Amino acid sequence: MSMVTVVGLGKIGLPLAVTVASAGHHVTGADICRQVVADVMAGHPPFPGEPGLNSRLAEVRHLDLLRATTETAEAVCASDVVVIVVPLVIGADRRPDYRALDAAVDAVGAGLRVGSLVIVETTLPVHTTRRRIAPRLAAASGLRPGPDFALCHSPERVSSGSVFADLARYPKLVGGIDRLSGERAKDFYASCLKFVERPDLARPNGVWDLGSAEAAEMAKLAETTYRDVNIALANEFACFAHEAGLDLLAIIEAANSQPYSHLHRPGIAVGGHCIPVYPWLYAAGDPAARLPVLAREINDAMPARAVDMLVALAGGLRGRRAAVLGLAYRGGVKETAFTGALPVVRALQAQGALPLVHDPLYDDAELSELGLQPYRLGEPCDVAIVQTDHPQYARLAPGDLPGVTALLDGRSVTDPALWSGVPRLAIGAGAAGLAAPA
């Protein structure tokens, strides 16, 4: 078994470290946050909501297969394999902000030894592994990428709330800066990941070597950017269908009955750490790209377009109490990364409304800390917007929103049968989603 360092103990890195340790490898998790390190050493996840993490972390800590430290270089110095899972975010200029990644790479380089394997799981613009990370590791270590140490890109492909299931469900993609790097990464992941059978795949589920770091980088960007572009197309269709009085959701169902159509569902916003970010990372590597940039602009505009629909439905919003239902970017996940709730609030304010925010996963204090005015179901309001597809909202009815005169369902999750007598418009549902007063 190998000595492994996982750099970055966040919502992706910690479950990965636990998985590698569960396979019998001795793992050191490195993180710059002392509280995170203390929590991991105590056997407690530093964040809630990841099924299975509590028990699995406690087990590998009990067996002393996983430790944590803030001393990255020291941990790397004692390791055969190093996996980097730190975030690469975009700045206000929509360009990659490499500061966190560069700092992690420099710390790894300071402890790197001959014969080590370095794997980068952070999602990257194409060419970053070879042209940015390899030279930084070489400069910090004095070693040569390839001859002295192996270097590979293997993009994480999991989602918060289902990391362990996703690690088993999706093929692990790897691509090295040379053939040996790819082979070593493939052997490493094969030693610690167990895959479920996928008869839908063209080849057996498992570790797939794509032959180059660039191919692995682009595979992750392609799968995520495709989703954003597809959603943007669905949103364009939804806005047109609304004007034409058509039910787009029924149309999508009809279109997707043909095996070459895979239209996604429209919605009020695209949130999360991945889909709103990775098209910009793709564009950073391909400055000539036009479609991903246009798709981002379309999806970014949807919160304001949804509020415009509500204005038309309600006959104006000035001075009216508007309940925004859902702060989280995705139903059932307590996470606000790129949530549509904030631009919805801003668009409501621009219309002269008083936005109030409800979310079953957040208490009033948490909402107030974000500068939002809390709302509780059962309190009076004039209009409402469903921003998050929380399961709790599926049975939402006018009685939950006393005084409501119009509902804009941005996720098409509410039941139109419960809204007889109150105007309700669901994005994508067109005429079928509009319940007129009785």
Q: Which residues are catalytic?
A: 220, 274
Q: Which residues of 35-73 are buried (b: 16+ CB within 10 A; e: fewer)?
A: ebbebbeeeebbeeebeebeebbeebbeeebbbbbeebb
Q: Which residues of 280-312 are buried (b: 16+ CB within 10 A; e: fewer)?
A: bbbbbbeeeeeebeebbebbbebbebbbebbbe
Under a CB-based contact definition with an 8 Å cutoff, are residues 155 and 281 in contact?
Answer: no
Which alpha helices (H) appear in 23-115, and where do they start and end? 34-41, 53-62, 72-77, 99-111
Strands annotated E in 105-168: 117-120, 150-153
Residue 272 Rama label (left phi>0; alpha psi -120 to 50; beta) = left
Q: Which residues contact 221 (CB under 8 A, 6 or more apart)?
A: 123, 125, 126, 278, 279, 281, 282, 285
The radius of gyration computed from the CA coordinates of the chain, to the nearest angstrom, equals: 24
DSSP strand pairing (321-325 vs 383-386) = parallel
CA distance 15 to 277: 22
